[in-house]
Amino acid sequence: MINGGKPLVGHVSVSGAKNATVALIPAALLANDRCVLENLPLIRDVKVLMEILEQMGAKVREDENGTLEIDSSDLNHLHITNGKVKELRASYYLLGALLARFKEVSMAYPGGCDIGLRPIDQHVKGFRALGAEVEIEHGMINLKADRLVGSHIFLDVVSVGATINLMIAATMAEGTTVLENVAKEPHVVDVANFLNSMGADVKGAGTDVIKIRGVESMHGSTYMVIPDQIEAGTYMIAAAAIPGGDVVIENVIPKHLDSIAAKLTEMGVEVQFNGDSVRVISKGRPKCVDIKTLPYPGFPTDLQQPITSMLTQAEGTSMITESIWEGRFRHVDELKRMGADIKVEGRVAVIEGIRDLSGSNVSATDLRAGAALVIAGLMAKGQTEINNLFHIDRGYENLEGKLASLGAEIKRIKY
Ligand code: EPU
């Protein structure tokens, strides 16, 4: 429940990156050993992965500071039918990790946010190129290989998931694997760094080409996840969206925020980087802008929904082109309930800026749609009730607590 219209003022600290974390946890299974992951966000996706790992025979322990210990030396269960797998997309990283370590795995088809078609053909193509037999039947994906051998794999689409999964799968393949046309997202680099800390030989992460020289075995490691680029961007937008906002967002990697900072600046918002923090100062009603979502370093699709909320009150007409997920406009109907003037045609949304949103009863349809509605609620006049918070809890640590500490009138009514 949000009482809107209050500018956000103060300091807020960003948690560990969700989309890195959900890959680091499965990657920890590559070692017949103990890994410690630090600074993990306290979010539902982590809990779900922990439950899946436990059922596979791993020993898992998390403390309240986000340090997770994973001991997978007794891992024995390679047939993962658990319904939890369907709760998050990232469960597909278990395929790459277990194929690499055991040459065999069988898992229910992964789920995740409903934001459009979510094929995994590039993952499958890569597993096959490394020498695995892949069968998809009765809702299960079955992988099996006598041996994995390095290969030259050119991705047809720039896919974060396929890049990370194939990097993980190739760590212990014989010879060298070259992945081309890969994703360059910060979490791709983070996973590569973690793999190297476990004894892998991965080079080129962060560029278009990644080379992996297979090693015999991997060992345990202690590793700290990077801060969450999307959480940081969400607070930047929230700070900028309500006139009078002045927020210092701490624990960020400025380079990861270049595209969102540039867009906010174009909208007339003041953005100042200082070491590992960024200060965002709202200068009143923002200007309209056009945005096209693109793979990193372009404007991230995961911030498209939050910034759409901000643009509903911008001066003039904005156009958003969603080039990654064709179904990522489901928040628009909810924003319309709050008075927004938005037309969607295929992958394009045209937003006519209005003066005021009005509080309403809305529902989160997916994770970032949830964040978008929270921002809209903070901007709106009157009271907004947001339902289906479980989407938000999947990926934002203590969103309402952090916003309340910035002066927002927000409280959770029901868990
Ligand atoms: N694609 C294919 N074939 C594949 C894989 C992807 O055609 O085998 C297509 C997809 O349909 C999409 C595009 O490639 O059009 C990009 O998909 P990608 O594989 O990069 O997405 P993902 O790995 O499934 C991750 C994040 C998403 C984020 C996207 C894009 C995780 C767990 N999820 O998904 O995050 O939107 O990359 O950056 O890392 C979120 O955090 O809210 C979220 C949805």
pLDDT single digits (tens) 326-350: 889 999 999 999 999 999 999 999 9
34 lies in the same domain as 67: yes
262 lies in the same domain as 199: no
118 lies in the same domain as 211: yes
Q: Write the burial class of residue 86 (CB in 10 Å: 0-12 exposed, 13-18 middle, 19+ buried).
A: middle
- Among 60, 113, 241, 367, the active-site one is 113
Flag whether 206 is in a domain.
yes
pLDDT digits (tens, 9 = 90+) for 251-309: 999 999 999 999 999 999 999 999 999 999 999 999 999 999 999 999 999 999 999 99
Ligand 1 close to Cβ of residue 90 (< 6 A): yes
pLDDT digits (tens, 9 = 90+) for 217-226: 999 999 999 9
How many angstroms does the Cα of residue 313 sit away from the middle of ligand 1?
A: 29
Domain range holding 347? Answer: 2-15+227-410
55 lies in the same domain as 102: yes
283 lies in the same domain as 353: yes
Query: What's the whole-number average pLDDT of the chain?
Result: 95
Flag whether 415 is in a domain.
no
Which pLDDT value is given to residue 112? Answer: 66
CA angle, residues 346, 352, 353, in degrees to nearest 5: 135
The verdict on whether 288 is a catalytic residue reads no
Q: How sure is the predictor about 415, in pLDDT bands with cuts at 50, 70 and 90? A: low
Ligand 1 pocket mutation pick from 141, 153, 157 by most atoms within 8 angstroms of CB: 157
pLDDT digits (tens, 9 = 90+) for 97-127: 999 999 999 998 887 667 677 889 999 999 9
213 lies in the same domain as 247: no
253 lies in the same domain as 353: yes
Residue 261 is part of a domain; what is its CATH number?
3.65.10.10
Ligand 1 close to Cβ of residue 63 (< 6 A): no
268 lies in the same domain as 215: no
235 lies in the same domain as 179: no
What are the two backbone dihedrals, phi and then psi, of residue 129, each rounded to the nearest 5 degrees? -60, -30
Nearest protein Cα to ligand 1, atom 36: 302
Nearest atom, ligand 1, residue 113 CA: 44
pLDDT digits (tens, 9 = 90+) for 374-403: 999 999 999 999 999 999 999 999 999 999
Number of Cβ within 10 Å of residue 373's Cβ equals 32
Which pLDDT value is given to residue 79? Answer: 84
Look up the pTM and report it: 0.97
Q: Considering 224, 257, 289, which residue would you say is the last residue of a domain?
A: 224
pLDDT digits (tens, 9 = 90+) for 22-68: 999 999 999 999 999 999 999 999 999 999 999 999 999 999 889 99
Domain count, the chain: 2
194 lies in the same domain as 270: no
Q: How sure is the predictor about 182, in pLDDT bands with cuts at 50, 70 and 90? A: very high
Flag whether 197 is in a domain.
yes
How many angstroms does the Cα of residue 376 sit away from the middle of ligand 1?
A: 25
Q: Considering 203, 224, 245, which residue would you say is the last residue of a domain?
A: 224
Q: Considering 189, 224, 259, which residue would you say is the last residue of a domain?
A: 224
d(CA 349, CA 336) in angstroms, rounded, equals: 12
How many angstroms does the Cα of residue 89 sit away from the middle of ligand 1?
A: 9
303 lies in the same domain as 283: yes
Which pLDDT value is given to residue 50? Answer: 95
Which pLDDT value is given to residue 103? Answer: 96
Ligand 1 close to Cβ of residue 135 (< 6 A): no
200 lies in the same domain as 268: no
Cis upstream peptide for 306 (omega within 30°): no
